[in-house]
Amino acid sequence: MMKKTISRPENIRMYWKETMRQMNDIGVGSLTIIMLISVFIGAVTAVQFSYQLGSAMVPRYYVGYIVRDITIIELAPTITCLVLAGKVGSNIAAELGGMRQKEHIDAMEIMGINTASYLILPKVIAALFVVPLLVCLAAFVSIGGGYMATVPTGYFTGPEYIQGLRSFFEPYNVFMMFVKATVFGYILTTVSCYMGYFVTGGSIELGKASTNAVVYSNILILLADYVIAVILTG
């Protein structure tokens, strides 16, 4: 499918409007759910680690350090993309599957349009740009959620949390986050496009295709998460 997508692209002007629409759907359309989930991820992580380290001989500012690193390395890219696989992936599969069932794709192919390129490539390009931005925003919001959950409630002071955020920072962790976000964005988009583009049958098969898009995307994202962790930290 991807070979057909990139082998014979259409005029670039045909892609601009569709790519912008996909960026809006994937990015702006997912902001609310991503920010909401990120706040609670950071809050729960900070509270749990504060509880775990409460009786240990560990400085309290380590909680901020742990929340920062675990958010950047793992939680922000993985959880964000798993959520996007459910929200965006199922929508992409349903959209392309509906076009296939209504023979819109066949009609476009009769007109000489490379439908794989026109329908799939803008979604992939949009995801490769927007998903890393969403993951970066999720990391910031998650760290802020940890602050809101622990400092006002008296677990420790604001300077202690901020000291942890500034301690032992490794820029390589941010690079790892963006690598994961890019790979995960490519996976969730292409898998969903494949499931929708090649759907056959009626409404039942379309529902199964949307479900399979989410399931397979999540499995491949988790597998890729492990592989990237082994490669980049080995």
Q: What percent of the chain has pLDDT over 90?
A: 35
List b or e across 96-127, with b for residues whose CB sees 16 or more CB atoms inside 10 angstroms. Answer: bbebbbeeebeeeeeeebbbbbbbbbbbbbbb
What is the average pLDDT value for the chain, to the nearest integer?
87
Which of 81-90, 124-133, 148-157, 187-196 comes out lowest in average pLDDT?
A: 148-157
Amino acid in the structure at residue 210 = S
Inform me whether the pLDDT recorded for 14 exceeds 80.
no
Token pair 């098969």 is found at 205
| pLDDT (mean) for 108-128 | 85
- 3 state SS of 21: helix
Kindly report the pTM of this predicted structure: 0.89
Indicate the burial class of 86 (C-beta count within 10 angstroms; 0-12, 13-18, 19 or more): middle
pLDDT at residue number 10: 62
Number of Cβ within a 10 Å radius of residue 193: 26
Of 87, 69, 73, 72, nearest in space to 28 by CA: 87
DSSP label of 88: I
Q: How far is CA 100 from CA 60, 77, 150, 218, in A?
A: 57, 32, 51, 24
The C-alpha atoms of residue 113 and residue 10 are separated, in whole angstroms, by: 7
Confidence (pLDDT) at 231 = 92
